[in-house]
Structure 1
Amino acid sequence: MSETTVNVRYMVDDVDSAVEWYTKHLGFSLLSNHAPAFADVRRGALRLLLSGPLSSAGRPMPDGERPSPGGWNRIHLVVDDLAVEVERLRAAG
């Protein structure tokens, strides 16, 4: 069976910090890093396009509003024990 990659653009404030977080704490591997504008990381079939304010995705909308982190995109990572993962990630900051 072939694997289909799902690409999700995810706005971040700091591309290098996001790369470190996703690779160090969430098991993603780095595909490319063009900080401060953009990087992409992969975990299984999920490719996250980590887009900073200087990326093309950071351009203002027609009404002048700038895209920012915490928008409508969400990712779902399956874990064995949610409470353990929450504690581990809190401890990591």
Structure 2
Amino acid sequence: MMPASIRYIVDDVAASVDFYTGHLGFSIEQDARPAFASVTRGPLRLLLSGPGSSGARAMPDGRRPVPGGWNRLLLLVQDLNEEVARLKGAGLVFRNDIITGVGGSQILLEDPSGNVIELFQPAAH
């Protein structure tokens, strides 16, 4: 079975590779900077497409893919408070504070291009 992949449009592939490998435990799979790189974490493959990549080409109607938005990948963490403190200590940007619901606790982290990563700690049942 082929692994599933997620593509993020990014402003700077090198900064994105540094972010995902340096802070979130990803490993470089393919490195074609400055246009493209792919990074992996377990079964997750994240494609980082910069301005010069085929994934960032304009659509026939002229619209261009851009980073950001609210779709996101979700990473499970063991201790959300500890992980948030570590990442804030590294100067990373969050969109909100930790929120807690019936399923667990979460917070939204931004990568260098404004793409969202949800850090999620499931509730103890």
Amino acid at match of 2:81: A
Give SS of 1:57's match. Answer: helix
Amino acid at match of 1:75: L
> Where is the strand percentage greater, Structure 1 or Structure 2?
2
User: Which structure ranks higher in relative contact order (CA pairs < 8 Å, sequence separation ≥ 6)?
Assistant: 1
How has the CA–CA distance of structure 1 residues 60 and 38 changed in structure 2, closer, same or farther, with 3 Å as cutoff?
same
Query: Which ranges in structure 1 are unaligned for 5 or more consecutive residues?
Result: none
> Where is the helix percentage greater, Structure 1 or Structure 2?
1
Give SS of 1:77's match. Answer: strand
Distance 1:44 1:37 in 2: 24
Q: Does 1:92 align with 2:90?
A: yes
- Residue 25 of structure 2: aligned partner: 27
Bigger Rg, structure 1 or 2 = 2
| Aligned-residue RMSD, C-alpha | 1.6
Q: Does 1:80 align with 2:64?
A: no
Give SS of 2:62's match. Answer: coil
Name the TM-score, length of structure 2 as normaliser.
0.66
- Residue 9 of structure 1: aligned partner: 7
Identity of aligned residues (%): 59
Tell me by how many angstroms 1:72 deviates.
Answer: 5.1
Query: Which ranges in structure 2 are unaligned for 5 or more consecutive residues?
Result: 92-125
Q: Aligned runs of 1:62-77 on 2, under 5 Å?
A: 62-71=60-69, 73-77=71-75
